Amino acid sequence: MAYLELKNINKTYGTGAEATEVLTDINLSIEEGEFVAIVGFTGSGKTTLVNLINGLLKPTSGEVLFKGEPVKGTSHERGVIFQNYSLLPWLTVGQNVSMAVKEAFPKASKTELKERVTEYVKMVNLLPAINKRPKELSGGMRQRVSVARALAMNPEMIIMDEPLGALDALTRGNLQDEILKIWSKDKRTALLITNDVDEGIYMADRIIPLKPGPNATLGPEFKINIDRPRDKTALNDNPEYKKTRNAIIEYLMGIGEARKSASKKEYVLPDVAPKSFVA
């Protein structure tokens, strides 16, 4: 039995003449312990897909199954690291993380709670800012709180919607490694949604491109046959990495070209002559 399964998913926004089918015939099966990345262009329906898996949205048709059961709503078994770091503005960094930890571990003592919050805030290098409120933090710092909050809940499955996009290369690399450490240590299952092919290859076992919408659907999968732990510096000289990277980029570029040539839109420019500024 697959750990997470999406069966013939279609998702349409709006009704009647306003209806847009964003996702069409999505089929995906993830096994327990796997790390899968979905790579897609902006606006292709990645967040819609994450929200269907998370239970925030319902498919128009088809089924999402988690451990064989239909997903009926959100659950802290599936921890999502969102793109837009939705933190509560009136709570400090520590309180934001603590609230999530309390929900996931309702029986934890005050000391256990505090220890867990400190451990994860430290992991994202924010201990000096633990008593600050979101408005006092940079975008990247807020994104790190969001990572700490999701991972501190100890989710069975980690779902990431472009979680590291707002970060500088160094912080991004460190957090990729922290996420990989947590995933491998406790044998979690992970789904990463990204527009960064290199990030996908570094982190995942398989990469699946999401063809751009409307009617976005999943393309063929690319298996990443590179041993773990992967060394980022050595990766550039790894023939398997180069081959896989080229194949994925060629596939995505091919989609991009097809999308451009399929566009029938013509822009008619107004027939105007420039006015002379000389009196």
Ligand X SMILES: Nc1ncnc2c1ncn2[C@@H]1O[C@H](COP(=O)(O)OP(=O)(O)OP(=O)(O)O)[C@@H](O)[C@H]1O
CB 162 → ligand X: shortest distance, Å? 7
- Given a contact cutoff of 8 angstroms between Cβ atoms, the answer to whether 39 and 209 are in contact is yes
CB 178 → ligand X: shortest distance, Å? 23
CB 234 → ligand X: shortest distance, Å? 30
CB 20 → ligand X: shortest distance, Å? 6
Output 43 or 256, the one with its CB closest to ligand X. Answer: 43
* Residue 65 structure tokens: 């199954």
Output 46 or 116, the one with its CB closest to ligand X. Answer: 46
- Given a contact cutoff of 8 angstroms between Cβ atoms, the answer to whether 164 and 172 are in contact is yes
CA distance linking residue 71 with residue 83, whole number of Å: 22
CA distance linking residue 108 with residue 114, whole number of Å: 10
Output 45 or 79, the one with its CB closest to ligand X. Answer: 45
CA distance linking residue 8 with residue 5, whole number of Å: 10
DSSP β-ladder status, 69-70 and 61-66: antiparallel
Collapsing DSSP to helix, strand or coil, 141 comes out as: helix
Output 45 or 62, the one with its CB closest to ligand X. Answer: 45
Chain residues binding ligand X by CB under 6 A are 13-14, 22, 40, 42-48, 213
Q: Which residues pair with 271 in a beta bridge?
A: none
CB 11 → ligand X: shortest distance, Å? 8
Calculated CA dihedral for residues 53, 54, 55, 58, nearest 10 degrees: -40
Output 13 or 105, the one with its CB closest to ligand X. Answer: 13
- Given a contact cutoff of 8 angstroms between Cβ atoms, the answer to whether 201 and 228 are in contact is no
CA distance linking residue 58 with residue 72, whole number of Å: 8
Output 47 or 98, the one with its CB closest to ligand X. Answer: 47
- Given a contact cutoff of 8 angstroms between Cβ atoms, the answer to whether 226 and 238 are in contact is yes
CB 41 → ligand X: shortest distance, Å? 7
CA distance linking residue 90 with residue 88, whole number of Å: 6
CB 68 → ligand X: shortest distance, Å? 26
Output 18 or 237, the one with its CB closest to ligand X. Answer: 18
CB 26 → ligand X: shortest distance, Å? 12
Output 101 or 208, the one with its CB closest to ligand X. Answer: 208
In DSSP notation, 7-35 reads EEEEEEES-GGG-EEEEEEEEEEE-TT-E
